[in-house]
Every structure is written in structure tokens, then in C-alpha cells.
Amino acid sequence: MAAQDILLDENWDLLIENGDLIVGNSDQQHIALIVVTGPGHWKENPFLGFNAALYEGSNTNPTEMKTNLAEQIQSDNGVLNQLTVSNGFIVNIDAERLIN
């Protein structure tokens, strides 16, 4: 069963419909939040976060980026299947959370 959580909109604001918070499948949202946040952003897990903005346009080896991102996703019970990087920018992420 997929994780259920409060959903966020494309601006990372709470998704509200008819005055109520929307709850739904949040697996991809969890992965996206790991990608954009960095260590120290999560009180309950201060080491969680990839912080993709630090890598953008850098000359970091794509293999190193993949290893770092895979470790972060794995710490939230997920797996990184593929990471596509072009000129230091992440083009595509194929990842999924595993069933608890």
C-alpha cells in the first residue's frame, strides 16, 4: 500500500479543496521533497535531504550524484532506479518508495 499523507501543490503549499486538506498517495511527493531539501531541513531526520540546488551546473561526477541521491532516498525506504544528468543538471529521476 502506498504511503498516504497530506498533499502539497506545485508551489509546495498545502493542497486544500473545499476548505479541507487533501490526503492521498504521497510516495512521489516524499521523493521530490528529499531531492529539493537538504540536511537540517527535517527535524525528525536532520541528515535527510539531497539539496539538488547545490549540484545544479556543477562539475560533480554524475555517478557521485547518483550515489548520494540513492542513499538519501534509501533512508526513506525508497530506491533510485535511474538518474539522468546533463551538464550538471538533473534531467530525470526514476525512483520509488518501497512498501513498508
Say if residues 58 and 72 touch (Cβ distance below 8 Å).
no
Q: What is the largest CA-CA distance in the chain?
A: 46
For 64, the enclosing helix (H) or strand (E) is: helix 62-74
Weakly modelled stretches of the chain, pLDDT under 50: none
What pLDDT is attached to residue 100?
62
Q: What's the whole-model pTM score?
A: 0.87
What pLDDT is attached to residue 59?
87
Q: Domain residue spans in the chain?
A: 4-97
What pLDDT is attached to residue 57?
84
What pLDDT is attached to residue 5?
94
What pLDDT is attached to residue 1?
64
Q: What are phi and psi of 60, to 5 degrees?
A: -65, 135
Please provide the distance, in angstroms rounded to a whole number, between the alpha carbons at the two ends of the chain.
Answer: 8
What pLDDT is attached to residue 99?
75
| CA-to-CA separations, 36 to 3, 13, 20, 53, 90, in angstroms, rounded | 19, 14, 26, 7, 11
